[in-house]
């Protein structure tokens, strides 16, 4: 397994080492998580986003219009030595283009948030949340997912020989900001950056 980085903390009788690895078998956040938004993608080579029955962009546009969907963001794909997805254009006419949308219906917003009227402030919060779902899916697509192992090395004799003992491990941390994604907290290695 490829190592991303290591961090060490001294202890009274030795030290602890946190080793961060790339997670090569992460969960697909669109199929294995409960998401607020519906991510609809149409692509000839890739099976992206959520399962759906739309045949083409006309079907999607008709659905958006009929259901008066207003909390919606476009999705763009960049395909060059790997794929990445975003709600903003990649400005590459050869390797990128719009691939679909992520949205939430007003009915689902009302049910999820327990409101009758959807305020402008709530709608902005929803769009930020949809953007966050796209960012997490992009981390999945680009391999920006990590795991860790914490090992303790304890001095066992006066010569300084060390005994190694694995204390903890966990996988499925999306994004390389280990403070923000909770990896350091889970490993009990806060403040090592």
Return the beta strands (E) in the chain as ranges. 3-11, 14-22, 38-41, 71-79, 83-86, 96-104, 145-155, 162-174
Same domain, 90 and 136: yes
Q: What is the pLDDT of residues 155-174, one digit of tens each?
A: 888 887 889 999 999 999 99
Same domain, 87 and 156: no
Query: Could you tell me the residue range of the domain that residue 156 belongs to?
Result: 3-26+144-187
Domain boundary, last residue among 106, 122, 142: 142
Same domain, 69 and 107: yes
Q: What gap in Å lies between CA 12 and CA 180, rounded to an integer?
A: 29
How confident is the prediction for the chain on average, in pLDDT?
94
Same domain, 61 and 84: yes
pLDDT above 60 for 95: yes
Percent of the chain with pLDDT strictly greater than 90: 83
DSSP structural state of residue 154: E
Q: Which residues contact 175 (CB under 8 A, 6 or more apart)?
A: 135, 136, 139, 144, 181
Asked whether residue 32 is assigned to any structural domain, the reply reads no
Residue whose entry in the numeric block shows the structure tokens 């697509």: 141
Q: Answer for the pair 54, 39: CB distance below 8 angstroms, yes or no.
A: no
Asked whether residue 192 is assigned to any structural domain, the reply reads no
Buried b (16+ CB within 10 A) or exposed e, 18-41: bbbbebeebeebbeeeebbbbbbb
Q: What is the pLDDT of residues 62-84, one digit of tens each?
A: 999 999 999 999 999 999 989 99
pLDDT above 70 for 1: no
Same domain, 20 and 49: no
Taken as a whole, the chain contains a residue count of: 193
Same domain, 42 and 136: yes
Q: How many domains does the chain have?
A: 2
**What is the value of pTM for the model shown?**
0.91
């Amino acid at each position: 397994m490829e190592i991303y980085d290591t961090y060490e903390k001294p202890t009274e009788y030795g030290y602890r080492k946190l080793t961060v690895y790339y997670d090569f078998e992460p969960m697909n956040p669109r199929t294995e998580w409960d998401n607020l938004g519906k991510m609809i993608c149409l692509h000839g080579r890739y099976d992206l986003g959520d399962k759906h029955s739309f045949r083409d962009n006309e079907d999607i546009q008709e659905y958006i219009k009929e259901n008066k969907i207003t909390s919606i963001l476009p999705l763009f794909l960049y395909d060059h030595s790997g794929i990445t997805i975003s709600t903003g254009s990649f400005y590459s006419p050869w390797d990128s283009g719009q691939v679909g949308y992520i949205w939430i219906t007003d009915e689902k917003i009302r049910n999820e948030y327990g409101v009758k009227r959807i305020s402008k402030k709530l709608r902005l919060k929803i769009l930020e949340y949809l953007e966050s779902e796209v960012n997490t899916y992009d981390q999945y697509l680009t391999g920006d997912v990590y795991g860790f192992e914490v090992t303790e090395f304890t001095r066992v004799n006066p010569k300084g020989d060390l005994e190694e003992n694995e204390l903890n491990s966990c996988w499925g941390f999306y994004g390389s900001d280990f403070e923000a994604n909770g990896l350091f907290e889970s490993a009990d290695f806060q403040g090592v950056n």
